[in-house]
Structure 1
Amino acid sequence: MIQVTVWNEYRHEKTDEEVQKMYPEGIHGQLANFIGEEFTVRTATLDEEEHGLTEEVLAETDVLLWWGHVAHDEVQDEIVNRVHQRVLEGMGLIVLHSGHFSKIFKKLMGTSCDLKWREDGKHCRIWNVNPSHPIVEGVGEMIELEQEEMYGEHFDIPAPDELVFVTWFPGGEVFRSGCTYRRGNGKVFYFQPGHETYPSYYNEQVQKVIKNAIRWCAPTENTYPTYGHYQAREDV
């Protein structure tokens, strides 16, 4: 069975009553609740030793989910480098919502990953623009959320390997809200919904996307390449 680790900085839930009410078990707890229906899941948070991402935990992780917002700078560079190496070796990574500004996503993208944003409590429509992709299987043509934070272009990321979702917001903005990348042997999926005071992670279609993305991001048996000095295979 696919082994999933859900990482959350777990700060809003400790200090904000509105977030506590929305996610009483923490955002990582709600993610783990529905992910655990189909996969083996564990959680890790920022304030744990080594942020809960020890070498042993990562070695046992097939797919890592990442949610962060106010404490990106507190993530130790040593841990970022550790996660980065595991992605290159084949571990899948799903970056959610404000995780776009995390150190690990910026390191993998090589850009600022900045964007426009507005928290106005309005609805959005997440359009499926890649209907044959495994990540959208069973999701349908569109996901409509009653409330979600506006993220708008320009989103400073490299052109996605595959664009899966584009979201429309009633203020007139659009956003590349579902993007896939391959880095080394690993696969990366960025998915925009997930503001901490809105119920996006209770939405069944959003849950379906995340479960599909876990399957898509899971490692294959492909051999990790050999790098560095290399002995000739033939005498020349």
Structure 2
Amino acid sequence: MSTPTEPRDLHIVVWNENVHETRGDATVVEHYPHGIHTVVADGLREHLPHADVSTATLQEPDHGITAERLAATDVLFWWGHVAHDEVSDAVVDLVVDAVHAGMGLVVLHSGHYSKPFKRLMGTTCSLKWRNDGERELVWTIAPEHPIAAGVPHPIVIDRQEMYGEYFDVPRPDEEVFLSTFAGGEVFRSGVAYRRGLGRVFYFSPGDQEYPVYHHPDIRRVLSNAARWAAPVSGRRELTADPHPRDWFLTDGAGRQGA
């Protein structure tokens, strides 16, 4: 019998604000002619051929995000950059509630400033940055972690935007990757959290001006992240429920437990 973490059972949605692409930014369109979301989705299908991978964008009704769609989603990928403020607070509420109930969330690159991630972190999520197209080395600092499975040490990205410390996020539950840049900066580029019943992974490589999501090692990391972030048990809303005294001594039908 399959389990929720097996690839054939995964239902994944890749969300992208899709603003650079729709306004025709030449460099972005060159690397991602059909949108960043399509390239990320193709990479997931490549490694998770039995998964159901779909996409959603800011321009769709309800940003492509509804309570019904999230209820059927195991893992939501989120990429945003220049339109964080255009995301409806009602949609943010849905995403955060879904994570608390057990849905996985993978936040990509400049999505560190997205409303859902900042809400879940409870901090500014600010960082240092410089876009000089420098080399990034992504070092695995937790080789036993499932997200690092099959990933070279280090991943070499020839040209990428620099993200540097201090990164204002809570202390991660797990640090998986640490990046170094040609300019000497370091950055916690792959960090994992639990929020409610859900798992959250932030992964920084992937600026819109560089073809990072075509990189085979980056695609492997994202597919590993999808497996890791998927619910390990059924989804359920966390609520404050009244319970009668000794409720735990009976089973669901009210019979005394063994």
**Deviation per CA, 1:181-236, whole angstroms, max 9, x where unpaired?**
0000000000001100101101111000000000000011157475324122329x
2:101 touches 2:238 (CA, 8 Å); kept in 1? no
Question: 1:36 is paired with a residue of what secondary structure?
Answer: helix
Residues 77, 105 of structure 2: 8 Å contact kept:
yes
- What stretches of structure 1 of length at least 5 have no aligned partner? none
| SS of aligned partner of 1:120 | strand
Structure 1 residue 33 and structure 2 residue 45: aligned? no
Match of 1:12 in 2: 20
Residue type matched to 2:155 in 1? I
Equivalent in the alignment of 2:33: 24
Q: Which residue of 2 aligns with 1:3?
A: 11
What is the identity, as a one-letter code, of the residue corresponding to 1:85? D
Deviation at 1:126, TM superposition (A): 0.5
Letter in 2 for 1:13: E
Give how far 1:170 is off: 1.1
1:124-181 CA distances to partner (integer Å, 9 max, x unpaired)? 1000000000000000221010011000000000010000000001111100000000
Q: Which amino acid aligns with 1:55?
A: A
CA distance in 2, matches of 1:196, 1:142: 22
Tell me, yes or no, if structure 1 residue 111 matches structure 2 residue 123.
yes
Selected match of 2:98 from 83, 86, 105: 86
Equivalent residue letter for 1:25: H
How high is the sequence identity, in percent, across the aligned residues? 52
RMSD: 1.3
1:91-114 residue CA offsets vs partner (Å, 9 max, x unmatched): 000000000000000000000000
Matched residue count: 235
After TM superposition, the score normalised by the length of structure 2 is 0.88
Q: With the length of structure 1 as denominator, give the TM-score of the two structures.
A: 0.97
- Aligned twin of 2:256: none
Partner of 2:250: none
Rg larger in 1 or in 2? 2
Distance 1:225 1:202 in 2: 36
> Could you tell me how far 1:17 is from its partner in structure 2?
1.0
The code of the aligned residue for 1:5 comes to V
**In the alignment, what sits opposite 2:134?**
122
**Equivalent of residue 199 in structure 1, options 192, 211, 215:** 211
